[in-house]
Amino acid sequence: MNFMETIKSAKNSRVKAWQKLQTKKGRQASETYLLDGWHLVQEAIQHDGKLHAVMGTAEQLAEHQEELPLGVPVFEITDDIAKKLSDLVTPQGIFAEVSLPSATREPQFIHDGAWLFLDAIQDPGNVGTMVRTADAAGFTGVVFGHGSVDPYSPKALRAMQGSQFHLTTTTGNLADWTASFTQNGMNVYGTQLDPEAADVFTVPAQTQFALIMGNEGQGMQPELAKMTTQNLYIPISGQAESLNVAVAAGIAMFALKAR
């Protein structure tokens, strides 16, 4: 039987603390973030996310009572409080507070797996979509380089759809990661249209490599592009000048990753 407490006031100190998780500063201070909606809460439960609390309306808690993990405090909240905790116009009404990933990865110790490096990706929807696609393509992890948006913002979390629980996510200096991977004998591919770039569909599929996706407007950092094993481009047959970065990442990940 889980501990249950009913909160009816939006001015309650717990509610104020949960509201702060909508900001990066608040998440960093508490080292937790907020999941909004049953699908994301369920992913955390099923994949050993470290839950600190589950908060839901009476209706939502009754619906999912059998699936809530034992030992996690449960708080019944009002519809008004649910709207305070969500950035959606009509929230589902169930949330969870979960620990931010604590595992740090040192790139010099990584010798296998497919990894996605994000170089200053600014849009949370793009970030979330790329993490979800990396999960679908069988990647091991995603490294968020300097200047990339916080992947634990509400919009990014909705786009990830719980994929952060299925692979490793970490932050780091991509120059260090690129250097370490190449020293460990792993290919690091950039995505940049230059005279020496290769058609992504001509590169043999493999299981151990990294793929760098650059900023939506500026592309990869020039110094990073010089460090890669090979830079790649996606051939465009139609009249469009370019592809959305998340779409391009999806094409490249599935092209490069051996099944």
Does an H or E element contain 215, and which?
none
Contact partners, residue 80, CB within 8 Å, separation at least 6 = 10
Side by side, the strands of the sheet bearing 198-199 are: 168-171, 141-144, 114-118, 209-213, 187-191, 230-233, 198-199
Pick the CATH number of 4-99 from 3.30.1330.30, 3.40.50.150, 3.40.50.1980, 3.40.50.880: 3.30.1330.30
**Domain spans of the chain?**
4-99, 107-256
Structure tokens at 198: 């290769």
User: According to the model, what pLDDT value does residue 1 have?
Assistant: 53
Cα–Cα dist 105/250, whole Å: 24
Locate tokens 């501990």: which residue?
3
Predicted confidence at residue 102, as pLDDT, reads: 77
How much is the pLDDT for 77?
97
Q: Residue 6's pLDDT is what?
A: 94
What CATH code would you report for 107-256?
Answer: 3.40.1280.10
DSSP alpha helix (H) spans, the chain: 13-19, 24-30, 38-46, 58-64, 79-85, 124-136, 154-160, 174-183, 222-225, 245-256
pLDDT at position 194 = 80
* Mean pLDDT value across residues 68-92: 95
Query: For position 2, what pLDDT does the model report?
Result: 65
Task: Tally DSSP H helices, then E strands, for the chain.
Answer: 10, 12
Tell me the β-bridge partners of 155.
none
How much is the pTM?
A: 0.92
Q: Note the pLDDT of residue 103.
A: 66
Encode pLDDT of 196-236 as tens digits.
Answer: 899 999 999 999 999 999 999 999 999 999 999 999 999 99
For 134-189, the pLDDT digits (tens) are 999 999 999 999 999 999 999 999 999 999 999 999 999 999 999 999 999 999 99
